[in-house]
Structure 1
């Protein structure tokens, strides 16, 4: 089966926003700097394997707890 560059480009155009949204949602729950992690996720979404690895790392990371405007990470 041949995959031409057009199909590969279309898959990449679909993959970039989906992976960025998933990383942003995970980063909001799991990190203290969600904007920075979302930007890193957007940049790495151009290489799907690296963005999948970042998603796995964020999924395995423990949630942070926010109380009284102070961030306390769970141990």
Structure 2
């Protein structure tokens, strides 16, 4: 199976969308500035290893304490 430029471009677009969505979900739970982190994550998605590293960093970061989290956990 040969991979032509069209297929490679389509895979790249799919990667941008999926990685940006994952980073946005993690940023919403883990940071106080989710829009800025999501924008940085979108830019980082152009280099896959950087975006994977950003996802790992966000996944390992502790959740922020908000009233929504306290209500959901019953604290």
TM value normalised by structure 1: 0.81
- Cα separation, 2, equivalents of 1:46 and 1:4: 19
- Cα separation, 2, equivalents of 1:25 and 1:33: 12
- Which ranges of structure 1 fall in alignment gaps of 5 or more residues? 69-75
Written as runs of structure 1 = structure 2, the 5 A alignment for 1:1-75 is: 2-67=2-67
- Which ranges of structure 2 fall in alignment gaps of 5 or more residues? 69-75
Structure in which a larger fraction of residues adopt helix: 2
Equivalent pairs counted in the alignment come to 68
Q: Name the Cα RMSD after superposition.
A: 1.7
Structure in which a larger fraction of residues adopt strand: 1
Deviation for aligned residue 1:67: 3.1
Q: Which moved more, 1:28-37 or 1:5-14?
A: 5-14
TM value normalised by structure 2: 0.81
